[in-house]
A and B are shown apart, each in its own frame.
Chain A
């Protein structure tokens, strides 16, 4: 079963929750879809890493065949092509790789080459298969890497955890599309609630079963908890703000592997998730 962990706001603890849930499971896969800032690997320190480049298609022109008809330039909706000093110039950074210019060049002067935008690394960390998508700096879209991550890793027998990017834009949507269940991680601030609301609407739009983990809980009122009560959203667990957890996490250590107390906390959360997913599958079949 595939479980996506998302939050809207950054820094609420998506990686912390997904890494620890994956480590608490008997056997699991952890997929880091936060390709702009992939941090799960810093915790897992996976061994036996295999990497594979991810590339997109970028057009290039054979200037000898080009007659300067400008059909490609007129076609391109992204303004990725220009005709300058009798030459077709391609702006790689704005090209969306739609292939239209190549398809419609009457002289067949355009062809495509691969442009590497990042890589996928797979490795193992004890009981967890760790798969990480990494976008190269300066590249604008990680969506092709996320697509590859999810296509190449269909849900297996055990748990698969998908660590999503922040926000609620196309890149997040891509990550939750095939998830069986979504865990929303929220922090007890005004910002946290506002962004929780955004992803809450996103998972509802995609009709994904979901529940919330309240992270960094302090004494006193918790606006995120109030929000869940109001909207009748299931709360999977409350993780206290705890300086020991903070230190472990900031040193990129996996809490469930360091302290039995945290292993118990995440194991019980995992049991609830398993029950919920089973319940959803039965309800939908």
Chain B
């Protein structure tokens, strides 16, 4: 199964819009949303079925038994994450605790234990197609681990599929790194702004560390033609294939707000997305076109 991951660095350039269009256009029936911090793909991939839900437990959290605590302060002093607060009693800040277990190991009274903690929820829709998604609990860490679980869940439920499409998260940090590992190609949705270009360069550098193939497409290209040309010459200079341009189209917002992908509506952005899709699929399945 070929895995295509959609990333962008900068948020709001159109990852989910492109991913949902690609899912509609492809005959592949396997997809996932790895933006566990702010998942949105489910909003336009209307699911008739009820998902199979399972709790996601990240790292355990420390818990102090106040009856045994001797107020020696060792746990607080040893914690690198400032997760232990000492007021009248010693208390763990669950949001700061990373579950490393140092406090438990230094406590002379055996008052600290590590307890598993719910950090999010995984959802799997299987209804002809396979859709794996998740939502991280607010303020939780370990989003990279949850991303890995989303991909695992997708792979284990998908049989003999030729293609899977994965919607990624913005940024370059742990959830993004976790989403890149093992995919066949990353499609970067760039936006013709100075911020967008800076973020695109940072996500390219990140993806290159994993030796993953990269292609670029430019969304809302007509909002700044000068910057669009800048992105295209950047791609040329670094031998990155450009999969095409998609214009700004207010119809795209209309489609999304109806809970539809842009290719379900007869609009300019939808037609351009189709062309980008065709080129991306060619690049993905024909390795000789990679460079």
Interface set of A (CB-CB < 8 Å, partner B) = 8-12, 15, 36-37, 39, 42, 57, 75, 77-78, 96-100, 103-104, 135, 137-142, 165-173, 187-191, 194-195, 198, 201-202, 205, 218, 223, 243, 246-247, 249-252
User: Could you tell me if A11 and B38 are in contact, using CB atoms closer than 8 angstroms?
Assistant: no
With A99-B78, A99-B80, A169-B138 already in contact, 16 other A-B pairs whose C-beta atoms are closer than 8 Å: A37-B9, A77-B100, A77-B101, A96-B100, A98-B80, A103-B102, A103-B105, A167-B38, A168-B139, A169-B139, A169-B143, A170-B139, A172-B139, A189-B253, A223-B257, A252-B195
Which of B197-205, B232-240, B281-289 has 4 or more CB atoms under 8 Å from chain A?
A: B197-205
Task: Of the listed stretches B47-55, B64-72, B165-173, name the one at the interface; the rest are far from the partner chain.
Answer: B165-173
Q: Which residues of A contact B12 (CB under 8 A)?
A: 9-12, 187
Question: Scoring B residues 29 to 47 as 1 if CB is less than 8 Å from chain A, else 0, what string do you get?
Answer: 0000000011010011000
**Is the beta-carbon distance between A100 and B173 smaller than 8 angstroms?**
no
Q: Is B250 an interface residue (CB 8 A)?
A: yes
CB distance from A83 to the nearest CB of B (A): 19
Can you list 6 residue pairs at the A/B interface with Cβ under 8 Å? Answer: A11-B12, A99-B78, A201-B138, A218-B250, A247-B224, A251-B194
Number of contacting residues on B, CB 8 A? 60
Give chain B nearest CB distance to A164 CB in angstroms: 11
**CA of A79 to CA of B112 in the docked complex: distance in angstroms?**
21
Q: Is the CB of B256 within 8 A of A103?
A: no
Q: Is the CB of B101 within 8 A of A250?
A: no
* Residues A173 and B224 in contact in the complex (CB < 8 Å), given A9-B40, A189-B257: no
Q: Does B164 contact A (CB under 8 A)?
A: no
- The contact string, 1 if C-beta is below 8 Å from chain A, for chain B 66-87, is 0000000000001011000000
Complex Cα gap A8–B135 (Å):
13
Alpha-carbon distance between A272 and B220 when the two chains are bound, in angstroms = 33
Picked from B38, B44, B177, B253, the residue with its CB within 8 Å of the CB of A8 is B38
CA–CA, A172 and B169, complex, Å: 14
The interface residues of chain A lying within 8 Å CB-to-CB of B193 are 249-252
B192 within 8 A of A: yes
Q: Are B38 and A141 in contact (CB under 8 A)?
A: no
In the complex, the chain A residue whose C-beta lies closest to that of B200 is A37
A242 shortest CB reach to chain B, Å: 12
Chain B residues positioned under 8 Å from A202 (CB to CB):
138-139
Q: Mark B89-108, 1 if CB is under 8 A from A, else 0.
A: 00000010011111001100
In the complex, residue of chain A having the shortest beta-carbon distance to the beta carbon of B248: A246
Q: How far is the CA of A137 from the CA of B177 in the complex (A)?
A: 10
Question: Does B244 have its Cβ within 8 Å of any Cβ on chain A?
Answer: no
Residues of chain A contacted by B199 (CB below 8 angstroms)? 37, 39
Question: Judging by beta carbons under 8 Å apart, are B100 and A198 in contact?
Answer: no
Closest B-chain residue to A173, C-beta based? B139
Least Cβ distance of A247 to chain B in Å?
6
**A104 in contact with B198 (CB, 8 Å):** no
* Residue among B78, B101, B141, B198 making CB contact with A170, cutoff 8 Å: B141
